[in-house]
Amino acid sequence: MEKKEIRNQVISLLKSLNGEQKEKQEEILMKTLFGTSEWKRANVIALTLAQKLELDTNKIIEKAWSEDKIVVIPRTKKDRKMDFVIYKKDTPIEVSSFGLREPARHLIAIQKSDIDLIIVPGVAFCETGFRIGFGGGYYDRFLTDYEGETVSLVLNEQQVEPFKVDSFDIPVNLLITTEKIIRKIK
């Protein structure tokens, strides 16, 4: 199957997932994440303000703040690029042209090298660490020269068989599913 077909198939599965099922899986995934050495070592954690179909990141943000970690969230830019801005309860948020909640344009981005751990979102994931996102390529571009840790939290409905990857696809270092942790050797 092509990426577009896989993406559409998984989105359909996610739309049919009831809230209680999703919450149970999220609880397992987050508990596992919080126990990893990658989480424990990280001081600056990057993640998205999740959309409806995505894993709810609010509890991750709250946990990070409770542990005095710095949370940064992405902001899309021209040429399908993005940067990250420190996120606090009072950070001004705007809605992008894609309907994403992002930090306001006037805020200063942090350096990529300051991010210790990126929680990489996606639609579908295979055990080799590759992911299918929403099709914009923003994360693959950002991760090209990123040297920190990357992790994806994967709902059961998002797990797929290996698919054909492109030369620009960047795998994550750590996949967390409800049943196991898969680490990629750097």
Domain boundaries, the chain: 3-183
Backbone angles phi, psi at 80, to 5 degrees: 55, 40
User: What pLDDT does residue 153 have?
Assistant: 98
To the nearest whole number, what is the mean pLDDT of the chain?
93
Tell me how far apart the alpha carbons of residues 51 and 174 are, in angstroms, rounded to a whole number.
Answer: 22
Which helix (DSSP H) or strand (DSSP E) does residue 23 occupy? helix 19-34
Identity (one letter) of the amino acid at 113? S
Q: What is the pTM of this model?
A: 0.94
User: What pLDDT does residue 99 have?
Assistant: 80
CATH superfamily of 3-183: NagB/RpiA/CoA transferase-like (3.40.50.10420)
- Give the up-direction half-sphere exposure of residue 137: CA atoms within 13 A in the CB hemisphere: 11
| List of the chain residues with pLDDT < 50 | none
Q: Are 90 and 81 in contact (CB under 8 A)?
A: no
